Amino acid sequence: MLLPVSTWPDIESWLKRSKTIVVPIGSMEQHGPNGFIGTDALCPEIIARHAESLAPDDMLVGPTFSVGCAQHHLGFPGTITLRPSTMIAAMADWTESLMRHGFERIYWLNGHGGNIATIEAAFSEIHARRSFDLRGADNRPGLKLKRRDWWDFKSVMTLCNQLYPVGHGSHATASEVSVTYYGYPDHTRTDVEMSPKIAPNGKISDAVQYRRDFPDGRIGSDPTQSSVEDGEKIVGAAAKAVLEEVRRFSA
């Protein structure tokens, strides 16, 4: 079930048989010369929806938390970021909303490495409210918060290594660009030249430093390799892995 196109009675029914929801979470930031600015939000959204299509009765997908922590990409036009403190507040509001309805297990399917720390900090902020509480400690609903980076399944990583033994990279990766090309085949960019073919690697601090050290935005990648066909394979593998994990998480 997809929450944004469901009705509230649908969700009321869902909660009678499950307390789990999957929330894609990403970022809106530059992804090099041929990657979409929305890549990190679109990838988990595409994968989660594909997983849902395989087993609509087993998975509820919430709206995508589409703008995350991308301050280091602000040197590139189009990037939109939250401050980590804002993101923590927003994730806490989402979570409290879901808890209000009886959800007890929230699976955040993440598409952005730069979100990892802040997502975990938000989990800690949310749990802290409960941990400080003197009242009813033993008598309250449970809460499990889990983050999964979509690329961080063994099956997915193996596949990506096979597809891109060279130039997979760590930002604007060949695999994530393929996933979005599969999701938005009308928007593929097939004729973009990049130099050097494989982007440099390095450290990240703020926006000025990032653009200076990574002038076209990529880190370590050659996304000219990306294709709709590869994307289809990756989405298939990731969706299968997500579905299995969500089933275990819900059990």
Give the binding site for Ni ion (CB under 5 A).
39-40, 176
Q: What phi, psi does 10 have (nearest 5°)?
A: -60, -45
How far, in Å, CA of 161 to CA of 34, rounded?
20
Q: Judged by CB, which is closer to a second copy: 36, or 153?
A: 36
**Site mask for a second copy (CB under 8 A), range 167-196, x = bound:** -------------x---x--x-x--x----
How far, in Å, CA of 31 to CA of 52, rounded?
26
CB atoms near residue 107 (< 10 Å): 24
Q: How far is the CB of 166 from Ni ion (least distance, A)?
A: 19
Name the binder of 226 from a second copy, Ni ion, none, CB < 5-8 A by kind. none
Binding-site residue total for a second copy (CB under 8 A)? 92
Q: Judged by CB, which is closer to Ni ion: 120, or 133?
A: 120
Q: How far is the CB of 104 from a second copy (least distance, A)?
A: 11
Name the binder of 40 from a second copy, Ni ion, none, CB < 5-8 A by kind. Ni ion
Residue 148 CA: distances (Å) to CA of 20, 49, 119, 189, 249:
14, 15, 10, 29, 11
Residue 192 CA: distances (Å) to CA of 35, 96, 104, 227, 234:
10, 44, 45, 13, 22
What residues between 191 and 250 interact with a second copy by CB under 8 A?
A: 192, 205-209, 217
Q: Judged by CB, which is closer to a second copy: 80, or 228?
A: 80
Q: Which tokens go with 233?
A: 């394979």
Q: Judged by CB, which is closer to a second copy: 124, or 158?
A: 124
What residues between 13 and 72 interact with a second copy by CB under 8 A?
A: 14-15, 28, 30-38, 41-42, 62-64, 66-67, 69, 71-72
Bridge partners of 106, per DSSP, are 21, 145
